[in-house]
Chain A
Amino acid sequence: MPAFYLENTKLKLLFVKEMENNFYRDDFEQMLKDTTEEFRMYPSRKVWHSIYNDLHPDRKWPSFAVCLLLLTAILYIGIANNNNISKTAVPLIATTLNAGLQSTAPVYNNLPGNNNYQYKNNATNLVQKNRQVILLASQEAATNNQSSNQQETGTLPATISGEIVSANDRYNSLTSGIFAPAVLEKTNSTSLEKSFNISTVPVVNDILNESITEQDVMKANSPGSSVNGNEDAAVMAETSMSDELQVAADNKFPSTTQLSEHSLSVGEKAWIEDFAFHNLRNPGKWKTNLSFQYYITPSIGYRHLNKNNGFEPVNGSLIRTNGDDEVTQQAAPNFEAGAVMVLGLSKRLKMKSGLQFNLTKYNTYAHDLQHPTQTTVPMNDSRSGNLRHEYYNTTYGNVLGSNLSKLNNQTLQLSLPIGIDYRVAGNDKIKWFMGAGIQPSYIMSGNAYLISSDNKNFVQDDAMLRKWNASATVETFVSIKTPSGIDINVGPQLRYQLLSTYSKRYSYTEKLYNFGVKIGVTKKL
């Protein structure tokens, strides 16, 4: 078939379609089409940045770098906070037991037949408590001095400057509407008026009631759009702003200094207030950015035990290496379960917080002893940092004994997880996220089995568990959207406990870590 014939047919079809359109299109539709045809709005710059990031994912490395830096910072802060004991401890003094304390301490070798029964040296505790009171009082005084100094110097100016900055930002954001480049609407008002009697009289009042954002400031350039009457505050605003509109039309943008030097007239202030009133953030947007997520993370939990006071086991123990080697231990199943609210901060970044229960657990193995045996546990003197040994009675042996018992070292925690998720890649249906978080936790209950000074025994003392702790998590997961609109999240998680399980008094530091798989369900609110 000849090419010109095809071309001709195509033209005919187009012509027929156009005729049909014209035939059926009534005046009203034509008016709507004409009026809205030239309507333009200028998108914010972030739209292009998002498009650019989607089109050129290989150039997004700075975002990765920032993510990594953030994660490293969180981990570093955690690790740095954990080194307090060892850094503040004074060099170790000889670990021989104090003869005086020994003489005042009754030794109970024939205790009731309860296997778990333990006894602490009361005299030692009493002396220790008195010392702690004095120490706490002096620390409190020092803290008060420090905080009052901070108030006088650092804190107050910082607050003031913060307010100045935010006030400036607010001013700039509002005034930017005045000085933004005018968007010219090429509406052919003359023809419209001719055809449909379009009225353009209440122009100025309409500007005041503008409900579109500051970027859409438009200039009425049609002949019929001049101001007729209505000499109210709006007119004043319009008149006083005429210079700025001229500047905008000329694409000359005054600097911030110029803006701050420019004294606002009553009309301008009224306009700004009105503008702010009509451009309040859409309250529904928060809701649309908010999701509810509940999840469970089964994991394998383990621990790392380390001395924090550089002591060597007394009585020539057979085992002198690090804490982990001194104990027969085994990883155990852990889990965390919780619910969080997720707030979308941007297209890629989400922040989340909520409540979570953690069960941490690992097992150590001990031999049952026939009779309760007295042993000592290494403790840090809270005042001097020196090592001292507290007496306990126990029926658990680490080296010698008969049957092997499994000791459940576990804690039940209530946490307040706070975290961020960053969308690395994905589309509407499937997304890949990387996340990090911190979990301040309250230890509700738990069992603590402490290794003795000579590494030959275990002692149960649940009171040695720290009441408050914190963990850091790093995770990556894939989020899959189901047809019902619910997102299912699955991915690996690493959880690391930032503070020792035990209180600072104990000369060992225990850090728990978990490797798990987080499974979550997210629903948009």
Chain B
Amino acid sequence: MTEELMLAGSIKNNAAAQEELYNRFSPRMLGVCYRFAKNREDAEDMLQEGFIKVFTQLHQYRNEGALEGWIRRIVVHTCINILKKNKKFSESVDLIHAKGIHIREDMIPSIMQAKQVVECIRILPLGYRTVLNLYAIEGFSHKEIGTLLDIEESTSRSQYTRAKAMLEEILVKKNIIHKSRKNNFGNASSR
């Protein structure tokens, strides 16, 4: 089924077209949700809500840019909205509560390649992880993150710096990156 047919069918609430669209994009979107979520079940909940929004708002899609990007944006916003409902989340994005966090060696998972990196991101404290996901991977600016998470732009920037340092430390410990390279990453988080 072509993307146009799939889109047209999904807008007309055709179940087969909707399933096709879901099957095409859900694996990657679940990967996105998984980076934000506490566990796989929560990630699936996020994915479910995200896709319901996608299908109910699909008529608003104007063919400007890739469909995947549009879906991804909705899914990321859904993840953030779900996280924001959690009281712990608002505390975790607050810098005061983020001081003195250390990652123990035994907390670091041993997985391979992309999964290794994703798992390492996931063991970051919730606030760090969210800011890092939004900034480094999803391409949001600190200003946008501030608006999205109801925090100051400067808070987002500091959270990201700390998150990045912590993630680098984890990746070095897991031999995913080497120390010499770590120093070369620099600090260019000025978007």
Interface residue? A166 (CB, 8 A): no
Q: Which residues of B contact A55 (CB under 8 A)?
A: 13, 15, 18, 52, 55-56
Given contacts A28-B168, A198-B176, contact A209 B111 (CB under 8 A): yes
Q: Which of A33, A35, A39, A216 has its CB near the most chain B CB atoms (within 10 A)?
A: A39
Name the residue of chain A whose CB is nearest to the CB of B186.
A26
Interface residue? A48 (CB, 8 A): yes
Name the residue of chain B whose CB is nearest to the CB of A28.
B185
Q: Which residue of B30, B39, B87 is within 8 Å of A42 (Cβ)?
A: B30
Q: Which residues of A contact B117 (CB under 8 A)?
A: 32, 35-36
Does A43 lie within 8 Å of B191, measured CB to CB? no
Does B26 lie within 8 Å of A225, measured CB to CB? no
Q: Knowing that A25-B191, A29-B136, A32-B167 are A-B contacts, what are 4 other residue pairs whose CB atoms are under 8 Å apart, sorted by A's residue number? A: A20-B191, A207-B112, A282-B41, A284-B38
User: Separation in Å of the A32 CB from the closest CB of chain B?
Assistant: 5
Does B41 lie within 8 Å of A285, measured CB to CB? yes
Does A282 lie within 8 Å of B39, measured CB to CB? yes
Given contacts A187-B113, A199-B176, A205-B110, contact A43 B47 (CB under 8 A): yes
Does A40 lie within 8 Å of B48, measured CB to CB? no
Interface residue? B77 (CB, 8 A): no
User: Separation in Å of the A9 CB from the closest CB of chain B?
Assistant: 14
Alpha-carbon distance between A477 and B181 when the two chains are bound, in angstroms: 60
User: Separation in Å of the A245 CB from the closest CB of chain B?
Assistant: 14
Alpha-carbon distance between A189 and B115 when the two chains are bound, in angstroms: 12
Q: Which residues of B contact A203 (CB under 8 A)?
A: 112
Interface residue? A157 (CB, 8 A): no
Alpha-carbon distance between A198 and B135 when the two chains are bound, in angstroms: 22
Q: Which residues of A contact B168 (CB under 8 A)?
A: 28
Q: Which residues of A contact B185 (CB under 8 A)?
A: 26-28
Beta-carbon contacts of B44-73 to A below 8 Å, as 1s and 0s? 100110011001100000000000000000
Does A39 lie within 8 Å of B115, measured CB to CB? yes
Alpha-carbon distance between A485 and B90 when the two chains are bound, in angstroms: 14
Alpha-carbon distance between A32 and B164 when the two chains are bound, in angstroms: 10
Interface residue? B35 (CB, 8 A): yes
Given contacts A41-B27, A43-B26, A199-B175, contact A36 B35 (CB under 8 A): yes
Q: Which residues of B contact A207 (CB under 8 A)?
A: 112
Q: Which residue of A24, A37, A43 is within 8 Å of B30 (Cβ)?
A: A43
Interface of B, secondary structure class, is helix
Q: Which residue of A25, A43, A225 is within 8 Å of B113 (Cβ)?
A: A225
Alpha-carbon distance between A222 and B113 when the two chains are bound, in angstroms: 9
Q: Which residue of B55, B181, B186 is within 8 Å of A51 (Cβ)?
A: B55
Does A40 lie within 8 Å of B112, measured CB to CB? no
Name the residue of chain A whose CB is nearest to the CB of B168.
A28
Give residues of chain B (88-114) contacting chain A, Cβ–Cβ below 8 Å: 109-114
Interface residue? A69 (CB, 8 A): no
Does A189 lie within 8 Å of B39, measured CB to CB? no
Q: Which residues of A contact B164 (CB under 8 A)?
A: 28
Alpha-carbon distance between A105 and B56 when the two chains are bound, in angstroms: 82
Using a CB–CB cutoff of 8 Å, the interface residues on chain B facing chain A are 13, 15, 18-19, 22, 26-28, 30-31, 34-35, 38-41, 43-44, 47-48, 51-52, 55-56, 87, 109-119, 121, 132, 135-137, 139, 164, 167-168, 175-178, 181, 184-191
Q: Which residue of B18, B44, B48, B111 is within 8 Å of A211 (Cβ)?
A: B111
Interface residue? A169 (CB, 8 A): no
Does A44 lie within 8 Å of B44, measured CB to CB? yes
Name the residue of chain A whose CB is nearest to the CB of B164.
A28
Does A285 lie within 8 Å of B39, measured CB to CB? yes
Alpha-carbon distance between A197 and B179 when the two chains are bound, in angstroms: 10
Beta-carbon contacts of A152-188 to B below 8 Å, as 1s and 0s? 0000000000000000000000000000000101010
Given contacts A39-B118, A40-B28, A40-B30, contact A198 B44 (CB under 8 A): no
Alpha-carbon distance between A54 and B50 when the two chains are bound, in angstroms: 12
Q: Which residues of B contact A285 (CB under 8 A)?
A: 39, 41
Does A47 lie within 8 Å of B114, measured CB to CB? no
Given contacts A43-B44, A55-B52, contact A206 B136 (CB under 8 A): no
Interface residue? A202 (CB, 8 A): yes
Alpha-carbon distance between A218 and B164 when the two chains are bound, in angstroms: 26
21 contacts between A and B (CB under 8 A): A24-B189, A24-B191, A26-B189, A32-B121, A32-B167, A36-B121, A36-B137, A41-B27, A42-B26, A47-B51, A50-B48, A51-B22, A56-B15, A183-B27, A185-B113, A185-B115, A196-B177, A196-B178, A203-B112, A218-B115, A282-B41
Q: Which of B30, B132, B139 has its CB near the most chain A CB atoms (within 10 A)?
A: B30
Does A33 lie within 8 Å of B26, measured CB to CB? no
Given contacts A24-B188, A26-B188, A47-B44, contact A218 B112 (CB under 8 A): yes
Beta-carbon contacts of A472-513 to B below 8 Å, as 1s and 0s? 000000000000010000000000000000000000000000
Q: Which of B15, B119, B135, B137 has its CB near the most chain A CB atoms (within 10 A)?
A: B137
